[in-house]
Amino acid sequence: MKKFIISALIILMVCTAVFAETQEKVVYDEGDYALNFAFQPTLSRYNAMGQSGLALQTRLDSFFSNPAVLGKNGFAMSIPSVSVTLYNLEKIVSDPESVELYKKITGGSASDSETVKFATKLLSNLGTGRNLVATIDVGAAMKLGIFGFGTNAQVKLHGLNNGTSIGSQSIIPEINVAQTVAFGLRLIDTSALSLSAGASVHAVYKTYMQGIDAATAANFIGGSDVTTTLLWNTPTMAGYAIPFDLGVNIGFLDDVITLSATANNINGIYYMKSYSALGDVVNKISKKAATPPEGYEALDSESFKIKTPWSLNFGFAFAPDVPVLNPVLTADLVDMFELCKSFGSWIKDKENSDFRASDLLLHLNLGAEIGVFDIVTLRGGINRGYLSLGAGLWLPFMQVEASYGWQEFGNQIGDKPVDSLTIKFSLGYDKK
Amino acid sequence: MKKALPIILLIVMAVCLTSCDPETLGSFMGKMGQNFYGLKANMKDVNKATEKIDNSVTDNGDGTVSIDLDVAAKVIDDIGKIKASEGKTEEFQKQLAEPVSEDNGAAVQVALQSEIQNVIDDVLPNPATIEDPKAKDIVEKVSAALEEAKAGISENPTRAELVTVAVISNMANLAQEIAANPAMLDNVEDQVRVVDAGLSSLDTLKMVSEYAGLSLVDGIDFSALLEDLGKGAEISRADEDDAIKYVAMAADNVRTLIAMLTKDGVVNDIKYSSVLSQAKATRHSFELMAVPYIKGNRTDLADLDQILSNKNIKKGLSTDDFVLYFESLILTELDKDDLKAFVNTHYAKLIDLEHYAEDEQMASDLEDLFDDAKDIIKHKDDGKYTAWNSMGTLAVLLVKTNLKDTIFKIADVESFSAFIDEL
């Protein structure tokens, strides 16, 4: 009996996903820890400025969140851009043992068990509820007159724990491939006043896998067979959506002051199917590209939908034309529809409503940017009360950007602030 | 030169940043994570829940108090909103730890014990009069949990204790209903109600109960475990000696559990009863959740195999829940006096498990202790498995926690009945 209990305890901590489960659909969009599967490419400048900048009209990546900026004609291109975002860094940096392990790993002197130990610490740091481990974006974008085109590929590693210990932690890989087409029109164009409107359509193909338990994930880094587990042993959901964004900009004094309104992720409904493994998805896209192992049998798919929320956002930007410094101040009011609903519920039933006046601050993101020595841009911001900062380096036909900041991953402010560091490289031409 | 200067400055800054002391860097990063506006989570739900608990206690003005457990049980409805928020959970647990009455704890203790006795006498039917074995088992378990709760009420009861008792008495109301009409367990709507009652009781207990919030396996070092067992997907039964090493890694949580049971180095009867009532309530919540899925003639293990292919059982519980049920099963089935004797004898080693995990005498005594507990998994009495509800709950949890394939692979079996036989 003792052996059983001890073995059982060990079993429970080492739940390797050796066999795939049934072809039931796997959804993570219900309950307290629903994951938001809406597609959004990583925008380093936006993150550094407290996730504000809807009304900024100058940069290439602005049209991904507000297509109306295309009304201001211009040319910009980045082929390619690559960004990597790592989350929960503060916990690693603050833990001396983690720092020591990291140094050994980067120095090449870490043993396999030390590497796995570091991976285990990364997973433990994810805590309860939802989190992110890392995001990698690769993309190309072009702004040509009033049109904008973008292609993005994104890999995201979600963490989800509906228990309390690492034994209940799972890692959910998500892959998005998106093609964006946008256009903007300048309807009024005077130095005193300008009015622009725009629309963008995103064709998004999304896949995500059934959660991989923490032990298996830690073992990947220790050298176990990643390919077989991910390609043939993990049920995968795949599908597409065609969401679109609408935007309106009003500019004053030669666009020194700009006000914006955007509705983002309209029609964000993903039409999904369940597959036995990622290999089946690959073979569906490109026949026989992946060879299944002997004895492998794919099961039938189940169709289902995932609805991702749309959002109504307002933006303000103040960008006076000051040479060299190019200062910018931005303020965005995000997710206004939810705020209005909450306010409406307070009007109807003050006693039972959760609305507080301070909730307005939770929807307010502020940002600032200033140029230094003509090739460096420094940025900072406040995102729902959490600070962020970043910098951009402008070299001939190349930009390097970095941002570090915190954001709320919990259901309420203060529940689960998570930090992230983004480094982005772009080759191409873009206006500062 | 003008363009080179900023590049040089950047390189210098990058070098400074990367050679920055990690502690300083970590501190700076942590400060950025403080909310600039000083905003905190809205505690309205927490205050509302605490108010419900306080409203269930009435000062009679003569030094005595009255407690309405039905009013206190209404807090179950608020747990969903609170548990979704870590900030609210922390604040709620802080408020739960406070005493119900600052200056009249003795009266609250007496009132609580009296209310529990009322529930046992007036709400629960006599198990001897119940024919249906499922209903009989439910009533017996709730009754046992109430008896322990009565014995475990502290001299100055906290809100947490009051809510735990309220949750168990709420389960008693449902047990009464099931005993009066066992056929309701075959009705789909009632099945949903019973399952929901089990799950919401469990959520509440995890919030309010110190025992239910403890995870004995948390803290086991994955990396060392994986190194010893070998990398890769092939996991074999662990060598017993190696296994003990990993049990020692749960030393912190074992210490917490021992502290919950003891006072001044020996098991305290009131504290033990309190922990036992929490463990019984936790166990019963799981079994209540599982009872509508457990069908069969309670003699043939193959009937339990059917549970694992039941598509109506939705996944949604975590590995932690499986462990919690297992812990509760063992703790509530161990002989009380034997466990007391074990803890008293080996107290010094149990609170220093890192150094005594391989102590032979302790291991041998533990083996004897668990020989009792294993009967609850395989207990046969005239061909009938008397631990039917427990085994059935394990089967349901294997589905709900999505652990079926993994456990079967490790145990090298293909069915639940084979798994039970293998033990």
Q: How far is CA A343 from CA A228, A347, A414, A416, B43, in A?
A: 51, 6, 21, 24, 18
Helix (H, G, I), strand (E, B) or coil at B236: coil
pLDDT at B160: 92
Nearest 10 degrees: Cα torsion B166, B171, B177, B181: -170
A7 and B243 in contact by Cβ < 8 A? Answer: yes
Distance of residue B124 Cα from the nearest chain A Cα, in angstroms: 33
Structure tokens at B286: 């799981």
pLDDT at B267: 92
Separation between Cα atoms, residue A318 and residue A134, nearest integer Å: 33
Considering only residues A191 and A414, tell me which one the structure prediction assigns the higher pLDDT.
A191
Taking the Cβ of residue A46 and every Cβ of chain B, the question of whether any pair is shorter than 8 Å is answered with no
Residue A214 CA to chain centroid, in angstroms?
Answer: 21
Residue B364: its H or E element: helix B360-378
> With bands split at pLDDT 50, 70 and 90, how would you rate the model's confidence at A10?
very low
Let me know the angle formed at the C-alpha of A352 by A350 and A358, rounded to the nearest 5 degrees: 65
The CB density around residue A57, as the number of other CB atoms within 10 Å, is 25
Q: What is the DSSP letter of A105?
A: H
Contacts of B231 in chain A (CB under 8 A): 112, 219, 222-224
- Spatial CB neighbours of B236, under 8 Å, sequence gap ≥ 6: B229
pLDDT at B366: 81
Residue A108 CA to chain centroid, in angstroms?
Answer: 31
Let me know the angle formed at the C-alpha of A210 by A132 and B221, rounded to the nearest 5 degrees: 65
Which of these, A289, A277, A190, A285, lies nearest to A237 by C-alpha position? A277
Q: Are B261 and B272 in contact (CB under 8 A)?
A: yes
Distance of residue B372 Cα from the nearest chain A Cα, in angstroms: 9
pLDDT at B88: 87
Contacts of A93 in chain B (CB under 8 A): 22, 25-26, 29
> With bands split at pLDDT 50, 70 and 90, how would you rate the model's confidence at A17?
very low
Taking the Cβ of residue A87 and every Cβ of chain B, the question of whether any pair is shorter than 8 Å is answered with no
The CB density around residue B74, as the number of other CB atoms within 10 Å, is 16
The DSSP code sequence of B370-415 is: HHHHHHHHH-EETTEETTHHHHHHHHHHHHHTT-HHHHHHHHT-SS
Separation between Cα atoms, residue B47 and residue B92, nearest integer Å: 8
pLDDT at B20: 64
pLDDT at A13: 43
Distance of residue B121 Cα from the nearest chain A Cα, in angstroms: 37
Using the structure block, give the residue that is written with the tokens 């890392």: A134
Tell me the average pLDDT across A69-97. Answer: 89
pLDDT at A207 over 60: yes
Which of these, A390, A372, A395, lies nearest to A324 by C-alpha position? A372
Range scoring the smallest mean pLDDT among A122-126, A206-210, B228-232, B405-409: B228-232
- What amino acid occupies position A156? K
Contacts of A371 in chain B (CB under 8 A): none
Q: Burial, B230: exposed, middle or buried (Cβ in 10 Å; 0-12, 13-18, 19+)?
A: exposed
Helix (H, G, I), strand (E, B) or coil at A382: strand
Contacts of B83 in chain A (CB under 8 A): 32
Give A160's strand partners. Answer: A130, A170
Q: Burial, B413: exposed, middle or buried (Cβ in 10 Å; 0-12, 13-18, 19+)?
A: middle
Judged by phi (left if over 0) then psi (alpha if -120 to 50, else beta), residue A170 lies in beta
Separation between Cα atoms, residue B37 and residue A415, nearest integer Å: 15
Residues 225-244 of B with CB under 8 A from A: 225-227, 229, 231-233, 235, 237-238, 240, 243-244
Over residues A386-411, the pLDDT tens digits come to 999 999 998 888 899 999 999 988 87
- Spatial CB neighbours of B381, under 8 Å, sequence gap ≥ 6: none
Contacts of B223 in chain A (CB under 8 A): 113-114, 116-117, 119-120, 218, 222
Let me know the angle formed at the C-alpha of B345 by B340 and B350, rounded to the nearest 5 degrees: 90
Give A258's strand partners. Answer: A251, A317
Over residues A84-110, the pLDDT tens digits come to 999 999 999 999 889 999 999 888 888
Q: Looking at mean pLDDT, say which of A267-271, A273-277, B318-322 comes out highest.
A: A267-271
pLDDT at A158: 93
The DSSP code sequence of A265-288 is: EET-EEEEEEES-HHHHHHHHSTT
Structure tokens at A100: 């020591």
Distance of residue A319 Cα from the nearest chain B Cα, in angstroms: 23
Q: What is the DSSP letter of A290?
A: S
Taking the Cβ of residue B25 and every Cβ of chain A, the question of whether any pair is shorter than 8 Å is answered with yes
Nearest 10 degrees: Cα torsion A221, A225, A227, A231: -110
- What amino acid occupies position B71? V
Please report, in tens digits, the pLDDT of each residue of chain B (423 residues total): 445 555 555 555 555 555 567 778 888 888 888 888 887 778 888 999 999 999 999 999 998 999 999 888 889 888 888 887 878 888 999 999 999 998 889 999 999 999 999 999 999 999 899 888 888 888 988 998 999 899 999 999 999 999 999 999 999 999 999 999 988 888 888 888 899 899 989 989 988 888 888 776 666 554 455 445 443 334 444 444 555 556 666 787 888 889 999 999 999 998 999 899 899 999 999 998 998 888 776 667 778 888 888 888 887 788 888 889 988 988 888 888 888 999 999 999 888 877 777 788 888 888 887 776 766 666 655 555 567 788 889 899 988 887 887 778 777 888 888 887 766
Q: How far is CA A406 from CA A368, B253, B279, in A?
A: 16, 32, 39
Separation between Cα atoms, residue B420 and residue B377, nearest integer Å: 7
Structure tokens at B111: 């009132």
pLDDT at B408: 81
> With bands split at pLDDT 50, 70 and 90, how would you rate the model's confidence at A48?
very high
Using the structure block, give the residue that is written with the tokens 């009989």: B136
pLDDT at A335: 86
pLDDT at A33: 73
Range scoring the smallest mean pLDDT among A119-123, A349-353, B319-323: A349-353
